[in-house]
Structure 1
Amino acid sequence: MRKKINVSGVAALTLLMTTMALIPSPSSAEASSVSSVVANTYIGDAGTMVESFDIAVDDISKYDRLQASDFDITGNYNGYPLNEAGEIVQNDYTNDGIELSIKDQMIHMKVESFRYPGGNLAPFAVKSSTYPELSFTKDNVTKVNTRTVDDFKSSSFTASNGATLPYRFKETSSTEPQPLVVWLHGGGEFGTDNTKQLTENRGATVWTESGQDTSVLAVQYPQNYGWAIYNNPVELSQMQAYFTLQYELIQQLVDEGKVDPQRIYLVGVSSGGGGALRFMMQYPDLFAGSIVIAAKDAVADYKGSVEPFKQALQSLTNVPIWLIHAENDPTTDSRTTKLSYQALTELGSTQVKETLYSDEWMKEQHLYDKMLHWSWVPALNNAEVIDWLFDQSRSNSVANSKLAADKMVTRAQLADALAHVLKLSESTSTTPFVDIVSSDMTKPIQQVVAQGLMKGTTSNTFAPDEQVTRAQLATVVSNWSKITKPSLEVKHAKISTDVPQQHWAYSSIVDVLQMGLMENDTTNQFHPAQLVIGQEVNDLLSQM
């Protein structure tokens, strides 16, 4: 049994005043023997948890008979604020788990870990009727140590677009570049203290505490974005500006030799989960893998069809993504996750995973009512999820870049695959194409055009949704060969019977036939107008 506190209004105020009255003022003669109280904490599933206190005293000889039974702790509980009926409760421990040890002038008090500094109904209080001067509350704590969090350095970063954000960075101790986890916090951690994004759940701390040798980056956003941000151009523009900031910061860390560019991971929960999908849409070639938990509706309308999701997420078919949600999340609708998964699988992704937690399973984790939103708790306690993330790497670019084998390939998809596999650099120039202004493929299209691999269909259009023919594919490959000059054996290929010298792609088709990158059929025909499918492009990219 646990001590149960369930009070409100005047009763709660009376209890709090009574509790405080039992704790002597630091100005009293007795309290003067205590010089400091240090709380030693860590980040648990429900936030900051305290596991011990260090009480420094002026004269330790006064406490030669001190024992655990001299103390009682109130306001200590496991941090889970709701019972099965959805009521706010605070079930105090019946066994405080106090263990004492004394060294020099210090009393070390180990306790059953509890939410620091208490709960919604009452703060914690350590009381001793035998030694009243050793009683204390949060107000008497002079320092708080927090495991792992204290290893994060605090700073801020201003991007080339003028945006500025505070961030915390935990750097690996390794002298070699190591993975980087980019953590996107949820809606409860917005602000400017540059701390809450680390302390409200295990999203920033779990990685190194699980034994991974990795750096961790966690910015803090000043305010949350609204629902359906895809219909709010002002908020969406601000979100994209913040992602540009993080991209530039990540590139700086890579340039400094701190981060392995092949193993950059993205993890987000709730608002950060929706943000993670948006971040990847903006920079589809940046991340080796992502865990998206309880995603907010940042992509498209979850009350509609899968088609807008397919349009928005088409650049992410090569990114390993694990989507996780509670089936009946009361805060962020799980249909965002379901439709994202459906869209990616229908687009041909073999890299996407989906986990949906049932109400019964969440209940077994003591997550009830509004806490059904807390699907990050079981997700981040699952070693399989963490191990999966760190198994991902962009070093095998071709394997992670496969287009749907039996689907026709659009010009935008070809541009995206080329940018990904060839690891094209960022383009600083803009293109004149009016039909890609609102496209999520704008970046890879700009990259392939800047490199001279593809051109527009007219002076101001790219036709991103137009399907690619074999002649167009041959032209792209020929352009690539002229730029990179690959060491391929030049073959004496037979001229295609269906490609006259007057054909606009004649020279390009001859090039790819001579390099052996494309072939005629058994009747020596090339079929220049035939639409290509994903398998043909995949096979070709594997040779480039």
Structure 2
Amino acid sequence: MECSHPFSCQCQPIANVNVLGAQLTRIELFFHRAISVLSISQVSVWVKSLNTQHRWVKLDFNACHKNDSNNFTLFIQPDVHCLTTKLLHFDVERFTQVRSELQLKIEFDQSLHISVSQCHILPILCLDTQGFTHFTYQDLTCSFYQPKASFQLHPLIICLHGAGEGGNNQSNILADKMAVTFANQLHQDMLDYPYILAPQCPSFWVDKFPLNGLYYYGERDYTADLLALIQDTLMKYQDIDPKRIYIVGGSMGGYQGLRLFSDTPDLFSAALIACPAKLPAAEKLHHLKDKKIWLVHSELDEVVPIENTLHLLEKVHDEQSTMPMFTLYKKVIVEGKTIDPHCVFLLLYDNQLTSGRNSIFEWLAEQSL
């Protein structure tokens, strides 16, 4: 028999990072007294954030699972395109991702005799980023993943974010799957349990770039600091394999990745580069000849036209050199919807590119100095 007096509970919002970024996926409810049954019709949860213009929007649930008599999970109707549940908000004026300031409120059917005032809503827990630690290096905000200890050497993957993920708020590991994809068990197994280093610069990797009639400015050139950060990481973690240091970069991060590779071509074994926003200096491009690089671009990209990638291919390939891997897309489709073709990097992070029977991550796993 249910208690007729109100009692308290805890509400734990859970988020995951999907192909389009971090969003709420479920709600964990912990009751201080046993409940025999709970259905989605008996619980209402609203959210508000910058993405909803601070208006309360009711969440749709598609299932309720009873873990035990005190613990239930409400699953939010999945939709990767839904802005309402996202943890980040894109500030168009500043051209950067900021926290969406997501808030929740919850109500229960009167038959449950649960006091809403005593339902404590905990901070949002993003499961996919839990394995990362965070530290600062100069003015870089770094997220770092260390694999389980073993007696073997492991690769190091450097993840370089795009123009919209600058700051000091870890938006570079929340805006898309670039870093977290390498921490999931499938890709850890595939890539021999790599370390992951995801530095976040305060604004932009380049000093200046035009977009939509405006100019945006970065603080400085971070190449030297990034190289020092990598060297310090190698010294600190002796089980990193110096023959398997990989770069992954999209858009402006694609430029910074190429810049690192061309400045120190003997340090890195391979790079995955999507729609590079800029190219290194012409006199350094020859350093990329015969290097293991997989490029991806959309021919319809209007933010970073394909000419950058085509020019790079022309400069690094001749009769005496090996042609870099290159995947050309037209449309970019995510979960059945066509999105901005500049976002072709999302397909890279989702391991959707293939060559023969190998996916792009399987190809990466084979590369070594």
TM range (shorter): 0.7 to 0.9
Aligned to 2:153: 177
What is the correspondence of 1:131-530 to structure 2 with a 5 Å cutoff?
141-158=121-138, 164-175=139-150, 176-193=152-169, 195-209=170-184, 210-212=186-188, 213-224=193-204, 225=206, 226-227=208-209, 238-239=220-221, 242-256=222-236, 257-299=238-280, 308=282, 311-346=283-318, 348-359=320-331, 362=333, 365-368=336-339, 371-382=340-351, 384-394=359-369
Percentage of matched positions with identical amino acids: 19
What letter is aligned with 2:220? Q
2:104–2:121 Cα contact (<8 Å) kept = no
Residues 1:37 and 1:344: Cα distance change in structure 2 (over 3 Å): same
Aligned to 2:94: none
How far is 1:54 from its partner? 1.5
SS at match of 1:379: helix
Mark the structure with the bigger radius of gyration.
1
Residues 1:355 and 1:129: Cα distance change in structure 2 (over 3 Å): same
CA offsets per residue over residues 242-294 of structure 1, 9 Å max, x none? 22222222223323313100000000111111111111122111111001112
Residues 1:292 and 1:34: Cα distance change in structure 2 (over 3 Å): farther
Aligned to 2:356: none
How far is 1:125 from its partner? 6.6
Residues 1:252 and 1:96: Cα distance change in structure 2 (over 3 Å): same
Equivalent residues, number: 321
CA distance in 1, matches of 2:318, 2:290: 13
CA distance in 2, matches of 1:140, 1:174: 37
2:7–2:33 Cα contact (<8 Å) kept = yes
2:330–2:341 Cα contact (<8 Å) kept = no
What letter is aligned with 1:180? L
Residues 1:244 and 1:53: Cα distance change in structure 2 (over 3 Å): same
Residues 1:72 and 1:142: Cα distance change in structure 2 (over 3 Å): closer
CA distance in 1, matches of 2:26, 2:271: 35
SS at match of 1:374: helix
CA offsets per residue over residues 140-164 of structure 1, 9 Å max, x none? 7413222231111111224xxxxx4
SS at match of 2:176: coil
1:326–1:334 Cα contact (<8 Å) kept = yes
CA distance in 1, matches of 2:115, 2:329: 46
CA distance in 1, matches of 2:246, 2:180: 14
How far is 1:44 from its partner? 0.4
Does residue 1:54 correspond to 2:28, yes or no?
Answer: yes
CA offsets per residue over residues 288-312 of structure 1, 9 Å max, x none? 1001112112436xxxxxxx4xx34
What letter is aligned with 1:68? I
CA distance in 2, matches of 1:261, 1:116: 41
Does residue 1:38 correspond to 2:12, yes or no?
Answer: yes
How far is 1:74 from its partner? 6.5
CA offsets per residue over residues 115-140 of structure 1, 9 Å max, x none? 5862679987765445595879xx97
CA distance in 1, matches of 2:146, 2:363: 21
Residues 1:144 and 1:390: Cα distance change in structure 2 (over 3 Å): same
CA distance in 2, matches of 1:373, 1:117: 23
SS at match of 1:238: coil
2:16–2:126 Cα contact (<8 Å) kept = yes
How far is 1:236 from its partner? 9.1
Residues 1:155 and 1:129: Cα distance change in structure 2 (over 3 Å): same
How far is 1:113 from its partner? 3.6
CA offsets per residue over residues 397-423 of structure 1, 9 Å max, x none? xxxxxxxxxxxxxxxxxxxxxxxxxxx
Which stretch of the first structure deviates more once superposed, 284-293 or 326-335?
326-335
Normalising by structure 1, report the TM-score.
0.53
Aligned to 2:93: none
Normalising by structure 2, report the TM-score.
0.75
CA distance in 2, matches of 1:219, 1:283: 18
CA distance in 2, matches of 1:118, 1:363: 17
SS at match of 2:29: strand
Residues 1:95 and 1:237: Cα distance change in structure 2 (over 3 Å): closer
The structure with higher relative contact order (CA 8 Å, sep 6+) is: 2
1:40–1:53 Cα contact (<8 Å) kept = yes
CA offsets per residue over residues 78-106 of structure 1, 9 Å max, x none? xxx9xxxxxxxxxx999732222142533
Residues 1:293 and 1:145: Cα distance change in structure 2 (over 3 Å): same
What's the Cα RMSD here?
Answer: 3.5
Which stretch of the first structure deviates more once superposed, 113-122 or 139-148?
113-122
CA distance in 2, matches of 1:342, 1:105: 63
CA distance in 2, matches of 1:338, 1:135: 59
- More helix per residue: 1
Residues 1:126 and 1:379: Cα distance change in structure 2 (over 3 Å): farther
2:38–2:64 Cα contact (<8 Å) kept = no
CA distance in 2, matches of 1:261, 1:393: 9
How far is 1:168 from its partner? 1.2
1:74–1:126 Cα contact (<8 Å) kept = yes
How far is 1:373 from its partner? 1.6
What is the correspondence of 1:7-18 to structure 2 with a 5 Å cutoff?
none
2:290–2:316 Cα contact (<8 Å) kept = no
In structure 2, runs of 5+ residues without a counterpart are 52-56, 90-99, 211-216, 353-358
Residues 1:34 and 1:116: Cα distance change in structure 2 (over 3 Å): farther
CA distance in 2, matches of 1:294, 1:282: 19
In structure 1, runs of 5+ residues without a counterpart are 1-29, 82-91, 159-163, 229-234, 301-307, 395-544
How far is 1:65 from its partner? 3.8
